[in-house]
Amino acid sequence: MATWTETPRLRLRRFTPADAGALADLHGDPEVMRFIDDGRPVSREVVEDTTLPGFLAEYRDLPAGLGCFAAVNSGTDQFAGWFSVRPAASRGLGGGGTEVGYRLLPAVWGRGFATEGLQAVLRKAFAELGAERVVATTMTVNTRSRRVLEKAGLKLVRTFFLEWPEYLEGAEHGDVEYALSREEWVSSTARH
């Protein structure tokens, strides 16, 4: 399977229909989904009927190189989660740009995989895909994800508040937007 990008420990590649079970396990995990959408796990049927077909359609419908990519542990060849790079579309984003995101299985949390993968996605977005500005959002109370965004080089832009159809614990603290411009990325890369 063709590699989209890689790090010392992760290989990112396009999803295939064979990934349905692993993706359902990821999106069905309450810890993974705690700060996403309504905070509830997603059913296997929804993943198989909607989520995965949506990911596969992105490879056709989005500009070349954009989409959601399966992250596989290079050492074990085990599914670890996914990373995405797409036109910015999350609720509350007003400044455009290219949006990045990720979800990883709890088994790999706390080991630097999220930061490592996100840095590779940023490198690909700026160096190969022509991104001028990369953005990401998370809930203000999602301190783990905020730390990953900061370690990857994104900077806090603002806190914002949205009306959601259902209350999610911590929503009263709002959401946060992080961003990184091409110039900031180039400058940071040159320093390191």
Mean pLDDT in order along the chain per 10 residues (192 residues)? 93 98 98 91 97 98 97 96 94 83 97 98 97 96 97 96 83 94 92 73
64/82 Cα distance (integer angstroms): 18
173 φ, ψ (degrees, to nearest 5): -90, -5
192/187 Cα distance (integer angstroms): 9
Phi-psi region of 76 (alpha: psi -120 to 50; beta: other; left: phi over 0): alpha
Q: How many CA atoms lie within 13 A of 189 on its CB side?
A: 14
Phi-psi region of 81 (alpha: psi -120 to 50; beta: other; left: phi over 0): left
Q: Under a CB-based contact definition with an 8 Å cutoff, are residues 136 and 102 in contact?
A: no
pLDDT of residue 177: 95
pLDDT of residue 161: 92
Q: Is the CATH code 3.40.30.10 the one for domain 3-191?
A: no
Domain ranges of the chain: 3-191
pLDDT of residue 138: 95
33/41 Cα distance (integer angstroms): 6
pLDDT of residue 57: 98
pLDDT of residue 1: 67
Query: 155-160 and 3-6 as β-strands: parallel, antiparallel, unpaired?
Result: unpaired
pTM of the model: 0.94
Q: Is 152 helix (H, G, I), strand (E, B) or coil?
A: coil
